[in-house]
Amino acid sequence: MKRESWLRLLKDAIAKLEQWENQWPSHALAAPNKADVEAVLDLVDRLQDNYPFFHPQYAGQMLKPPHPIAWLSYALTALINPNNHALDGGPATAALELEAVAELAGMLGFSTAPGGFLGHLTSSGTIANLEALWVARELRPGRRIAYGANAHYTHARMCRVLGVEGVEVPADKNARLDMGALENILRAEDIGTVVVTLGTTGLGALDPLQEVVLLARRYGFRVHVDAAYGGFFSLLARREPPLVDPVPFDALAEADSVVIDPHKHGLQPYGCGCVIFRDPRIGSLYRHDSPYTYFTSGDLHLGEISLECSRAGAAAAALWTTLRVLPLQPHGGLGHLLAAGRRAALAWAQAITQEENLHLAVEPETDILCFFPMPSAGKHRASTISTWSDAVFKKTMARGADGLYLAKIKLERKFLEKQDVDIEWDIDRLTALRSVLMKPEHEAWQARLHQVLCEVVESVIRQSHYTEN
């Protein structure tokens, strides 16, 4: 770990910030006492109860530390702790937020001309989606919201929060929104909004947004795109040759609203989601009158276009600084980092298809892999495969410094039957393994991780033969 140079930079930056503070009469900060020191060292002990999210051997959930430039900028700004609810709370970070959000909007294909969109940061993708669905409900009162069975679980929950009836659309054999099923639902029910996911949380699938946009013209529903995970992959769609299917991303400019999570692929600490609306006039829906917050400026405050009140100005500062260093470019900047994880997923998927004992559940469309142990000879019970997955999950992790940290996912029988996978279905949901390859280092580590996986799968299947016979 080479944090030393970053800590030096933080120290220099704090020294510069202190020159600004020193305009005011001196204001002493007590040095850490014994209790402070003990508390912090105890925290270090407690923090070790974590999986090694920082390391390429951790290839499980959507987790990794922020880029050093992001935590440094966050820590520095937190010394002031501005609140982006209003210009009174943080004029500098409010400006940084507007600039950073404009860059995200531009990447997603929105017009960045004045009045071309309306957007802001949120504390999470869930809250960002809640805002988009709330706006959808206000503009399509009494009508239902359709979302995929592959969509994030919070869409169903937020529909309940909003008192809107949600309708689940099944997934097709590629784990994308099933367009035939969607059209049947559109014919039968009064759907006001359809949620499309670009980069599903489970399998990283890209719903066919371009086809949904065409249906929207015919049926007149709103299109909300949940790109919390996959939004940044629009950079890879614009590479030559593209590293992900560019077609759904090209349709983003026609979406009514889009959510993207900088705290997932934007290298930010948690607390940074974003929602963007195509029509800035929806800002009037947020209208409220606060007797105690806005008084130093007549300009539109971020708090006037956001459901949340307090939001960390430090989150905006961290994102803004990160984008300076890692611009939203297909080949350089952030695109360069994302491409490595995408290539790792493609290479690992390829390696898995060559293995006798492994089955790739679906071709990866982003950087998420899904597979399960299943010898190609014979027909196996879903419950046996699930037991193998559980064992592989535990044993790869138990190897510790020599191991691999994966995640698990339940795949529905209905989904795998669409692919004609030959499984004896004694249970309705099969446990599979899932790996999110979101660190660029995964590319260099992929072959080694695959080897660990194969060794463990081999031993798990061999052992289960002994116990069965």
Ligand X SMILES: *Cc1c(COP(=O)(O)O)cnc(C)c1O
Q: Which residues bind ligand X (CB under 6 A)?
A: 124-126, 129, 152, 154, 197, 201, 226, 228-229, 261, 273
Name the residue whose CB lies closest to ligand X. Answer: 125
Specify the residue, 274 or 457, whose C-beta has the smaller distance to ligand X: 274
Backbone angles phi, psi at 381, to 5 degrees: -75, 145
**Minimum distance from residue 154 beta carbon to ligand X (Å):** 6
Fill in the DSSP letter of residue 308.
Answer: -
Specify the residue, 68 or 148, whose C-beta has the smaller distance to ligand X: 148
Reduced to 3 states (helix: H, G, I; strand: E, B; else coil), residue 350 is helix
Measured CA to CA, the distance from residue 13 to residue 2 in angstroms comes to: 18
Specify the residue, 386 or 435, whose C-beta has the smaller distance to ligand X: 435
CA dihedral 291, 292, 294, 300 (to 10 degrees): -60
Q: For the packed helices 313-325 and 91-107, what is the interaxial angle rounded to 10 degrees? A: 50
Whether the CB-CB separation of 450 and 435 falls below 8 Å is answered with no
The structure tokens 């001309």 sit at: 113
End-to-end, the C-alpha distance of the chain in Å comes to 48
* Single-letter code of the amino acid located at 5: S
Specify the residue, 195 or 317, whose C-beta has the smaller distance to ligand X: 195
Specify the residue, 261 or 365, whose C-beta has the smaller distance to ligand X: 261
Specify the residue, 154 or 193, whose C-beta has the smaller distance to ligand X: 154
User: For residue 440, how many other CB atoms are within 10 A of its CB?
Assistant: 18
CA distances from 413 to 372, 390, 431 (A): 14, 18, 11
**Minimum distance from residue 58 beta carbon to ligand X (Å):** 17
Beta-sheet strands, E only, within 160-253 = 166-169, 191-197, 222-226
Specify the residue, 84 or 201, whose C-beta has the smaller distance to ligand X: 201
Specify the residue, 201 or 386, whose C-beta has the smaller distance to ligand X: 201
Specify the residue, 207 or 355, whose C-beta has the smaller distance to ligand X: 207
**Minimum distance from residue 122 beta carbon to ligand X (Å):** 8
Measured CA to CA, the distance from residue 427 to residue 328 in angstroms comes to: 45
C-alpha atoms less than 13 angstroms from C-alpha of 306 in its C-beta half-sphere: 26
CA distances from 6 to 2, 18, 51, 384, 423 (A): 8, 18, 23, 49, 52
Measured CA to CA, the distance from residue 110 to residue 126 in angstroms comes to: 21
Q: For the packed helices 313-325 and 68-78, what is the interaxial angle rounded to 10 degrees? A: 150
Choose among 255, 177, 260: nearest CA to 214: 255
Measured CA to CA, the distance from residue 389 to residue 395 in angstroms comes to: 10
Specify the residue, 226 or 355, whose C-beta has the smaller distance to ligand X: 226
Whether the CB-CB separation of 437 and 243 falls below 8 Å is answered with no
